Chains A and B, each alone.
Chain A
Amino acid sequence: MFKEAIGKRSSGVKNVVERGAVKKFAESIGDLHPIFVDEEFAKTTRYKKNIAPPTFPRVFDYGVIDELDLPAKGLIHGEQKYHYKRPLLVGEEIICYQEVEEYYEKQGKLGNMGFLVLKQYGETLSEELIFTAEQVVIINETVRKVMSI
């Protein structure tokens, strides 16, 4: 079921690096630095604008991959990667989409585990790639039995 999904991709969704959302996010990770939240301070920096923390893309909508039916419970986040061309600027619009990059199984302590690699992309409206994110989701044997896969 997951193997067949490899290479499947969602349609792009337009997201805004919204000022209020960046502030709320920065606060939630205890990083209320003026580079994220103070508009006047930002004008004195090389970016001239506030930027978003590197893990902020967690909040974006990447669209739905139709062929991928993930269980609501029992998933473990194993790994996370971000790659940036430059920081995200507050106020800019980003087109986000995701694809199933890989699926494999390995025998582990908790039985036969499934490893699903999802890759996410963020581009400007002129299709310039700003960041990619990659997450490894671990699906344990119990969950896979329930899904009968």
Chain B
Amino acid sequence: MSRLLRCHVGEELPIVTLPPVSRLDLIKYAGASGDYNPIHTVDDEAKKAALPAIIAHGMWTMGNLAKLFTPYHEEGFIQDYQIRFRGMVFLGDIITLKARLTEENVQYSTFKVNAVNQNGVDVIKGIVTFAKYKDNEGSS
């Protein structure tokens, strides 16, 4: 359970690679988030907006990236989560989610996080500050 607290500076949390982005993924996210901007689901609307094709919601990728921390919910919580949207995500892209511990003290673990596409390009990049519960010290 307590893998995050045992992670050392410079180490990565287990990496997650998502299945290729599908249209259904984006339709589901549109429905769940209420973001119905058609550039994410309708080909013609993406073209009208001068995009090469429909693109994933940036918030879909940001939502996915946060799940690297879900298994550690008993140790603490994501206090700060900041992301820059750097590249577009298209249908069929294979996105890999990463988090590397960069700084640690009694209260916080700070991670550099990013989501990379199959070409090695960062599509989002940012920082997660994970606030640690005090009563978790030393537990397994």
Where the two chains meet, the residues of A that have a C-beta atom closer than 8 Å to any C-beta of B are 21, 24-25, 27-31, 33, 35-36, 45-46, 51, 53-55, 58-59, 73-74, 76-87
Contact = CB atoms under 8 A, between A and B. Distances in A.
13 contacts: A25-B33, A28-B28, A28-B63, A29-B64, A58-B59, A76-B85, A77-B85, A80-B58, A80-B62, A80-B83, A81-B81, A83-B80, A84-B78
Contact of A79 (B25, B70, B74, B84): B84
A28 B62 contact: no
Interface in B53-104: 58-60, 62-64, 66-67, 70-71, 73-74, 77-85
A9 B33 CA distance: 23
A74 B58 contact: no
B49 A86 contact: no
A59 B33 contact: yes
Contacts of A33: 67, 70-71, 73
Most central of A73, A82, A87 by chain B CB within 10 Å: A82
Q: Which 9 A-B pairs have the closest CB atoms?
A: A29-B63, A28-B32, A31-B67, A81-B82, A55-B63, A28-B28, A28-B29, A25-B32, A24-B32
Nearest to A138: B85
A105 to B, nearest CB: 19
B87 to A, nearest CB: 12
B77 A86 contact: yes
B60 A28 contact: yes
A46 B77 CA distance: 12
Contact of B78 (A54, A73, A74, A76): A54
A128 B67 CA distance: 27
Nearest to B80: A83
Contact of B77 (A21, A36, A81, A84): A84
Given A28-B33, A59-B32, 15 more contacts: A21-B32, A27-B28, A28-B25, A28-B28, A28-B63, A29-B29, A31-B66, A45-B73, A45-B74, A54-B78, A58-B35, A80-B59, A80-B83, A81-B80, A84-B79
Contacts of B120: none
Contacts of A35: 70, 73
Contact of B34 (A59, A80, A84): A59
A54 B66 contact: yes
